[in-house]
Each structure stands twice: as structure tokens, then as C-alpha cells.
Chain A
Amino acid sequence: MITNLRTRFKPTPWIAWIAFLSIFLIIGVTGGVIVLWKGLSVTNLTDLVPWGLWIAIDLSSIALAAGAFSLCAVVYLIGLKEYEPIARTATFVGLIGYSMAMLCLFMDIGRPFKFYQAFIYWNTHSLLWEVTMCVGLYFTVLVLESMPIIANLKWLRTRYPKLTAKMSRVHHYAPYLAIAGLFLSSLHQSSLGATYGVLKSRPFWYKPEMSVLFMLSAILGGISITLFASMMASQLTNKAKVKDELIEKLSKFVGWALVGYFYWRFWSTLSMTYTYEPGRTEGLELLTKGPLAFNFWFGEILIGIFVPMILLLNKKTRSNRFWRMTALLMVVGGVIAFRWNINISGAMIVLSYLPGQPTVTYASYTPSLVEWMVGGGVIAYGLFTFSLGVRYLHVVDHDMIEEEHVPVNVKVPQTARA
């Protein structure tokens, strides 16, 4: 029996990869159980820095999921049909990103099993209400958009052919779903920035351009991770097939978008240097000279924006697969660094409320072991699901031609036709 198993069990890179991720998944689940059992006291979060690593992961995964709405809009609304296979990948990446964010939030809220109350009790004035509603609705849109992808599962196809046929037919409504996706995503991607931007209590966050920065960086990061993941998958397995010229064209767009993002990020930072503003100036120093300086200058600006901008705008490096992948990965890293920096820099600056004492104190935060365990688990879940998707759902397959979706019929008045 054992020898039989041994002969049948051949370690392949695939199995090694899955085993590697499973270790992190098990650690993550363990961490999750500890959090649910012991409560948030196992984290290093405090009343002054109540949002930490998990929020950074949650913000990053929502940002990196933004490729779904941007590329679906490109394909179904602007009508650049040739990018449809990439939009398919982006949709699946989006589904993973949002589920990662929701997993992370489930861990992060004080009463996880009351999460549904966020949908029952409404304070329409709250930015987080808007984000919650949009994320909930958009996740539904993503599930619908992913139906035709999930219908590719061979096992499901052979067993329930009628069901998968129905699931595939959802694709007919792709343009409508793209409209809903664009609408909901534009709302909550920017509102995530505004969540911080409206807080007068934390002067370093209190600025309107937070929404713009979040929106722009999300589109950049979302497209970049989709392209990177597609290329990576095609390098590692023949289950993934990519059309390099499509990816190259989109990468060029990413390059130009980086120019815009660079301008905004730099402008937003520079405009804060003009006069002394209690709290804000200290926040800026923290970011540009203090403990976050490496993250900011190296992670965000140099590696996150500047270098990939050059690599992607220069035709020579862009057409080289290695350099293009490197650049795209850098963009993803830059967006994550941005999310981390924004969250932590604002939280660390605490402005005194004592009369006549506009003094600033610095809070500190280092994630605890359990936070890393859960965070690692959530990331492993994302990689795990994507890997399964590549292998069994053909999420990266640029040769696959989707069924034609029904064109959107806009009723034309009789007079106009005549």
C-alpha cells in the first residue's frame, strides 16, 4: 500500500508550491482562531494606532483588485475588445482581492460575528458605510462576472452541464456588469482615501487629494498585478497562455499613468512643505526624514514609481519580458508601500488637545506575531486561489475566445430612426 502510494506520489513543482502555501494557510487559520478566541488583545494595536497591518493588507488587496473594474470598463464600455482575455484575469484577481480584504476585515473588527450589522444599520453620512455598501455590492458584481470563469471547471462542466451553461450565459450581461462595476468601484476606491481624508483629528490625513491618490494608485496597482500575475503564470506553466503584445500595450499605459500618479503624489507631498501646520508638518517629516523615509523614498517613489515609469516608457526595456515583469512588480510594491505609509504615518502622529499646547506626540506600532500569522495566511489564500484558478479555470488564457455578449440595446426613439 505504502509503496503503491510512493510510486504514485511524484513531487512536482506544483505540489511543492501548494504545500508551501498550505503551510502559511494553516498558520493563518491558527492565527485566526487565536484572534477569535482571545480577541484583539493579541494584536499590538492601541487606542492611538487602532488600524495596523491588517488594514494595510486590506487596503492593498482592494487597490490591487481594481484591475477588474478598470479593464472591464476598457473592454466593455470603451470597446477595446482585444483586451477581453486580460479583463477575464483581472476579474478573477478582483474576486480574490475583495475576498482577501473581507477576510482581513473580519479578523480586524472587534465583533466579527456581528459584521452583518454593517449592512443592516445605516449611517449614510459615514464614508465607511459607503465603502461597505459598495464593497458588498461590487463583490456581488464580481461573483457574477466570474460565473463564466468558474463554469470552466471541468468537474463542474461534466457533472452539471446545464448549470455551467447558465453560468456561462451571465457573460451576455458583461457590459451591464461593467457599468455597475465602474460605478461602484469609482465610489469606494476613492472613498477609501476619503475615509482618511475627512479626519480633522489627524492633520496628516486631512486633505482632499487622498481620494485622488487612492483612485489613481488603485488603477495602477490593479492593472499591474494582473499583468504581472499573467506573465508569471505563463512563465511557470503551460496552462497559462498570454499574448505578449497585449500586455506590452497595457504596460505602456501603466507607464504613462505612473507619470500622472507621480505628479499627484509629489504635488500632494510638496504642498505640505509650505508652512508649518501642527501635526501635518511632523507627519511629513516622519515620512520624508523619519522612520518611514526608506519606505517613502525608496519603496514608494524610487522603486514604486520612478524606476518602473522609466522601464515601462522605454521601448527597449518594456519589450523585454524580464524588465517589464520587474517594473510591474515594482508598481505593485509601490502601491502596497503607499497604503502602508498612509495608514501608519497618519496614525503615528498624535496632536495634543490640551489648551495652548499644540504639541505632537508620536505613537508607535509594530505588528504582533499573530497579526503576521493572519496577514501571511490571507496573502497565502490569495496566491493559493489564483494558482488554482490558473490550473483549473484557465484564468490566464489569452487564446480563449469568450462567447459574444449581447450588445446593449439602447432604445432609439422612432423619430431619431426616421
Chain B
Amino acid sequence: MSKLERRDFLKLAGAGAAGLVGMQVMRPTAHASSGAEAGEQQWAMVIDQSKCTGCGHCTLACRAHNDISPEISWNEVIQVEPVGDKDAFLPRPCMHCEHAPCVDVCMVGASYYRSDGIVMMDYDKCIGCRYCEIACPYQARSFNWEKFDGENPAVPEWGQPEVERRPRGVPEKCSFCYQRIDRGLAHGLTPGVDPDATPACVVACPTGARVFGDLNDPESKVSKIINSRPTVRLRDELGTAPRVYYVLATPEAFEEAEA
């Protein structure tokens, strides 16, 4: 010990600590998808709760188009407390948060932001630690405890698979049907307007409870609803800034929807 003075050791430790602080300061520019770095389009979804009848077509279409095991729902439809005397439901896809806890915590960066705001999974990078599952406040992620190698009962009735099946040992979640958006855009279609470029759940919804579109386009249906009607985002107080907006049901809205 003798020659290594405590002072020098403290200096060393100090340098290390300074390095760490530096890393922290650099962080926000390194990954945030919001603001200037964001791409031209920012996809968002609006779900009108008063129009949702809980039929579950969205879940089935989602399972078919994304080739999901019947044990898993990327898009769960949850029965919530009745509004007035009416049954009420709340469909829950991935919220595609602007500040997604799953992206923050993923050690290999398998969860990441696309420039259009979609929170994506790189299933090849994922090692299956399940930290993202614990970090997600919306329980939007489901782990593949088993390999899904059987037939998909939702196919072909509800659509054809458009993406690869996920391997055993990774968590999976809704991707806003990025494959439909990307292919649609490549063919000059507009997501949210043309069904072939729009998430399968939105297309499948028989009551039109789901609306999809670009937040950056003030003329898109989602922008119009968000700007004109009161909407809520789930657990907004956490600061995750979800990209799924809900128009909550009221007894009056229910009557209107039925009329």
C-alpha cells in the first residue's frame, strides 16, 4: 500500500466518476426520438372507447397478420368497469411511447425507436432477459415461453402472416404493423387512409373505433381528433408519452355511437 497515497487513489476515483457523469450528460442526445431527430412522419393511433364493442376482431386480425401464437395477444381487449349501464372495453396495443421504458432498459438495444416513432424489437439481438417486460407499465410485452410451431388458428380466416415468427425465448409485442406501413409507403399509399398501409387491427375493426395516422400531418384523422376532442393517454403521469390516444366513453357518447 505504502506508495499509493490515498490522495492519488481519490484522484483516480474522481476521474472515473467524472467520466461516468460525462456519459450521463451525453445521454439525451444519444437516443431520444422526439424533437429534431424525429422523422417526417410520427405514427399514432386513436381508439374511441365508446365505439368498441369488445368483439375482439382486432386481436384476431393482429394474430393472423403478425403470426402470433393463440396464447399471446399483442393487442388485448380488456373489459373495464361499465360506463353507465353499458359494457365498456379498452383495447391495449403497444403504446409506442416517446420515452419508452423498455428501450431505456434493454441492455443489448434490441428494443429501439424508429425515426417514425415506432418502438421496434430486433429479435435477433434479444437475449431474453425480460427486463423490458418488467419495465413496461402497460404489460404490452409477452414472452415466448414456448416455441410457437403449430398452425395459426387465425390464418387464413383473419388474414395472412406478413412477418416471421419469433423464436422461443424472446418477448414480443405490437409493432403498429410496421411491415404494412413500410410496404404501403413504398407503393405510394397513405397509412391510416389506405387499408393496405394501415395496421391490421384498424382495418379489421367493424365499428371504426380505431384511427391511425400521422401526428405531424395536421390534416390526418388522428391529428384532427386529438386537436378537437378530449383524449387521454394511459398512465400519462409516468411521462412515457404514449402514441396511443383514447377517447374515453361517456354515457352520452355511447348513445351517440349506437344511433
Question: Which residues of A are in contact with B by a Cβ distance under 8 Å?
Answer: 39-41, 43, 45, 47-48, 50-51, 76-79, 81, 108-111, 114-115, 117-118, 120-129, 132, 175, 179, 183, 195, 198-202, 347, 350-351, 353-355, 357, 407-410
Chain A interface SS verdict (over half): loop
A109–B128 touching, CB < 8 Å: yes
Query: In the complex, what residues of A have CB within 8 A of residue B104's CB?
Result: 125-126, 198
Question: Which residues of B are in contact with A by a Cβ distance under 8 Å?
Answer: 1-5, 8-9, 12-13, 16, 23, 27, 30-31, 78, 80-81, 90, 92, 101, 104-110, 125-131, 133-139, 141-147, 167-171, 232, 234-235, 238-240, 246, 248
Closest residue on chain A to residue B26 by CB atoms:
A124
Report Cα–Cα, A201/B144, bound state, in Å.
21
Closest residue on chain B to residue A196 by CB atoms:
B134
Report Cα–Cα, A60/B4, bound state, in Å.
33
Report Cα–Cα, A343/B170, bound state, in Å.
21
Taking a contact as CB atoms closer than 8 A, the residue among B3, B137, B232, B239 that contacts A408 in the complex is B3
Report Cα–Cα, A121/B106, bound state, in Å.
10
Report Cα–Cα, A129/B147, bound state, in Å.
27
A-B contact pairs, 19 of them (CB 8 A): A81-B1, A110-B170, A111-B128, A111-B168, A111-B169, A115-B127, A117-B108, A118-B108, A123-B108, A125-B27, A125-B31, A126-B131, A128-B107, A183-B13, A183-B16, A199-B135, A200-B137, A200-B240, A408-B4
Query: In the complex, what residues of A have CB within 8 A of residue B90's CB?
Result: 354-355
Known A124-B23, A347-B134; further 20 A-B contacts with Cβ < 8 A: A39-B145, A47-B142, A51-B130, A78-B1, A79-B1, A79-B2, A110-B130, A110-B168, A118-B127, A121-B108, A121-B125, A125-B104, A127-B105, A198-B105, A199-B105, A199-B134, A353-B138, A355-B234, A355-B248, A409-B3
Closest residue on chain A to residue B7 by CB atoms:
A410
Known: A51-B134, A201-B101. A407 touches B125 (CB 8 A): no
Closest residue on chain B to residue A123 by CB atoms:
B109
Chain B interface SS verdict (over half): loop
Query: In the complex, what residues of A have CB within 8 A of residue B92's CB?
Result: 353
Determine how close the nearest CB of chain B comes to the CB of A87; give it in whole angstroms.
12
Taking a contact as CB atoms closer than 8 A, the residue among A120, A121, A183, A355 that contacts B232 in the complex is A355
Query: In the complex, what residues of A have CB within 8 A of residue B130's CB?
Result: 50-51, 110
A200–B109 touching, CB < 8 Å: no
Query: In the complex, what residues of A have CB within 8 A of residue B12's CB?
Result: 179
Determine how close the nearest CB of chain A comes to the CB of B12; give it in whole angstroms.
7
Report Cα–Cα, A351/B138, bound state, in Å.
9
Known: A39-B168, A410-B4. A351 touches B137 (CB 8 A): yes
A122–B109 touching, CB < 8 Å: yes
Taking a contact as CB atoms closer than 8 A, the residue among B106, B127, B145, B246 that contacts A355 in the complex is B246
Top 3 nearest A-B pairs (CB, nearest first) are A110-B128, A110-B169, A79-B1
Report Cα–Cα, A407/B8, bound state, in Å.
14
Query: In the complex, what residues of B have CB within 8 A of residue A110's CB?
Result: 126-130, 143-144, 168-171
Query: In the complex, what residues of A have CB within 8 A of residue B146's CB?
Result: 39, 41
Determine how close the nearest CB of chain B comes to the CB of A30; give it in whole angstroms.
20
Determine how close the nearest CB of chain A comes to the CB of B239; give it in whole angstroms.
8
Closest residue on chain A to residue B78 by CB atoms:
A354
Query: In the complex, what residues of B have CB within 8 A of residue A355's CB?
Result: 90, 232, 234, 246, 248
B9–A354 touching, CB < 8 Å: no
B137–A111 touching, CB < 8 Å: no
Report Cα–Cα, A115/B147, bound state, in Å.
19
**Which of B27, B30, B127, B235 has the largest number of chain A CB atoms within 10 A?**
B127
Report Cα–Cα, A79/B2, bound state, in Å.
7
